[in-house]
Amino acid sequence: MGASEGSRHVPIWPRDDLLALEPVPTSLRPDVCVVGAGVAGLTVAYRLLRRGRSVLVLEREGVGAGETSRSTAHLAFALDDRFVELERWHGTEGARLAAEAHERAIATIERVCEEESIDCGFRRLSGFLVPGGVDDDDLLARELAAARRAGLDARMRRDVRGLRFDGVAIEFPNQAELDPVAYLAGLDRAVRRRGGHVAGPAEVVSVRGGSPVTLELADGRHVEAGAVVMASNVPFHARVAMHTKQAPYRTFVIALPIAEDAMPEGLVWDLADPYHYVRTYAPKGGRPHLLVGGEDEKTGQPSDTDPFGALFRWARRHFRVEESVTHAWSGQVLEPADGLGYAGLAPGGEENLYLITGDSGNGITHATLGATLIDALLHGDAVPERALFSPSRKPIRGAKRWFQENLNVAAQFRDWIAPGDHEDDDALAPGEASVTRHGLHRIARHRDEAGRLHAFSARCPHLGCVVRWNDLEKTWDCPCHGSRFDPVSGRVLNGPATQGLTPAGAIHPSREERRP
């Protein structure tokens, strides 16, 4: 869930209004237990409580500790994977259903803000898809045609206030934005007012479908519920079923002060690879900021470039910003092979077990539509897009992308036969790390800024890949399925792993432990 403890980078969103978790009830057997207190989990809880269900939300760290607080909250039905691709993967009707589902999700968020008096800066505005290079006009023309076939009211624009791009842009009216942490805080309060429990810290390590569904916590306790919704960003109950169908990426964001007369008039996305996304945000009583995101890279497979520096240089080229970066952070996104996220009954036939995952860069809206879909399934309502977002669907038309991502995962196991760094603890300076070989074992070593050495097995507890050092964020990251670990404690920062790294002392005593 949360990754901020393993990072020096903190999002711009204020966190003052977030409530503390309740203790986990000892005797409660709710109608539904939700795992994860982000927008997906709390929206599920909110909708079920409105229907009269009893709900327990279990959270490992705290409300807002996960990916919701790291989102830039572009609320868009102009989807990240583009309608040309969605039409190829899901047909014209599938692309239309996907757009409508995300459009309804934005309307749902707007209605919740009004009904629950959530002051989170929700506002409607246009989104603009701009060129990523000098020859992108044809791509934009094809995307406009596909978007219109999907039912979107989109049009070409040449002059857009605040944008410095060559060529035309597509305008998508009636998108939206908000402060995701303020929205989450309001949603949390609404859940508790209606009798829901948001409890923790509770680390769920296993779940078994059935009637009832049984969850096991890390401390040995068990919780039973009529149904369980896994809303923890990345599912961990199935070791393989979902992780071969989606790939983990790190996405990066910077915030820069910007003059009001230089602000773009809406959300901005480009066609570059890696791509970029932009919005503005004005803290209460503070200066407006430009939030620039992108430069995505596979988790555990960092590029040689500094993504924050690349974002700053890109922002200077395309916007009138003069000052330095005030905030920089990253988040984890999951990219499905066929461009659409997953929401519904978990694959594998386990009874009463549901999940929401695979946001594909549209996290807040996918979380909301996923929660709405699962609420409908639990009550037997008709869901036109049920098959479209089903976690059991096969990415047949996205097979090429699926094959490429899984070939990439398989290639990461070569780290087990690579020679590794030289095993010399004294050679590590403060802040440095290395993966060394010790017989048949790989050891992940890190010396913190105070000079203390921390050593763990480099084997990811999920499926056994060798973790790699993320020097930008100071974490150990798995290059296969995206689990991330704190370098000092070894604990899990991002799943799907449910156990932390094994201390090296459990494998063999380190050199420092052998010293008298």
Q: What DSSP assignment string belongs to 186-232?
A: HHHHHHHHTT-EEE-S--EEEEE-SSSEEEEETTS-EEEESEEEE-S
**298 and 430 part of one domain:** no
CATH code for position 312:
3.30.9.10
Query: 380-407: per-residue pLDDT in tens?
Result: 999 999 999 999 988 655 445 544 544 5
Give mean pLDDT, residues 432-447: 83
- Please list, residue by residue across 141-166, b when 16 or more beta carbons sit within 10 angstroms of its beta carbon and e when fewer do: eebbebbeebbbebeeeeebebbebe
**149 and 256 part of one domain:** yes
Whether omega before 248 lies within 30 degrees of 0, making that bond cis, reads no
**256 and 154 part of one domain:** yes
289, 318, 334: which is the final residue of a domain? 334
Other Cβ atoms less than 10 A from the Cβ of 8: the count is 10
**320 and 457 part of one domain:** no
Give CA–CA dist 357/375, Å, rounded.
15
* Torsion over CA: 82, 85, 87, 90 (sign): negative
Answer yes or no: is 444 within a domain: yes
pLDDT at residue 337 is higher than 80: yes
pLDDT at 154: 97
Answer yes or no: is 505 within a domain: yes
Q: Which of 107-111, 232-236, 456-460 shows the lowest per-residue confidence on average (mean pLDDT)?
A: 232-236
pLDDT at residue 3 is higher than 50: no
Distances (CA, A) of 234 to 81, 102, 140, 357, 459: 19, 20, 32, 6, 19
**145 and 257 part of one domain:** yes
Those residues whose C-beta lies under 8 Å from the C-beta of residue 84, and which sit 6 or more positions away, are 139, 142, 143, 146
pLDDT at 7: 37
Other Cβ atoms less than 10 A from the Cβ of 194: the count is 15
Answer yes or no: is 25 within a domain: no
Give CA–CA dist 516/501, Å, rounded.
26
pLDDT at 281: 96
**423 and 293 part of one domain:** no
Query: 22-62: per-residue pLDDT in tens?
Result: 999 988 899 999 999 999 999 999 999 999 999 999 999 99
**259 and 168 part of one domain:** yes
Give CA–CA dist 118/68, Å, rounded.
16
pLDDT at 438: 72
CATH code for position 506:
2.102.10.10
pLDDT at 358: 84
- If you ran DSSP here, which 8-state letter would residue 360 be given? T
- Mean pLDDT taken over the chain: 87
Domain count, the chain: 2
More reliable by pLDDT, 126 or 510: 126
Three-state DSSP class for residue 173: strand
- Confidence at 513, pLDDT banded by 50, 70, 90: very low
**439 and 314 part of one domain:** no
**422 and 304 part of one domain:** no
pLDDT at 1: 33
Answer yes or no: is 328 within a domain: yes
pLDDT at 2: 34
Those residues whose C-beta lies under 8 Å from the C-beta of residue 381, and which sit 6 or more positions away, are none
Answer yes or no: is 213 within a domain: no
The tokens describing 256, both together, are 């820069």
Q: Which of 56-65, 79-88, 266-275, 316-325 shows the lowest per-residue confidence on average (mean pLDDT)?
A: 316-325
- How large is the greatest C-alpha to C-alpha distance in the chain, in angstroms? 73
Answer yes or no: is 476 within a domain: yes
334, 355, 381: which is the final residue of a domain? 334
Give CA–CA dist 430/445, Å, rounded.
11
**440 and 327 part of one domain:** no
pLDDT at 511: 46
pLDDT at 200: 94
Beta strand extents in 72-140 (DSSP E only): 74-75, 123-130
More reliable by pLDDT, 105 or 492: 105
pLDDT at residue 416 is higher than 50: no
- Confidence at 429, pLDDT banded by 50, 70, 90: confident
Residue 325 sits in which domain range?
A: 122-176+247-334
315, 334, 353: which is the final residue of a domain? 334
Are 292 and 315 in contact by the 8 Å Cβ rule? The answer is yes
Give CA–CA dist 350/228, Å, rounded.
11
**291 and 147 part of one domain:** yes
Place of tokens 């929700």: 122
pLDDT at 407: 55
Beta strand extents in 235-326 (DSSP E only): 246-257, 267-270, 276-281, 289-298
Answer yes or no: is 394 within a domain: no
More reliable by pLDDT, 337 or 15: 15
pLDDT at 194: 98
Answer yes or no: is 297 within a domain: yes
Give mean pLDDT, residues 234-262: 81
pLDDT at 241: 64
**318 and 426 part of one domain:** no
Give CA–CA dist 3/369, Å, rounded.
25
pLDDT at 210: 94
Give mean pLDDT, residues 160-165: 84
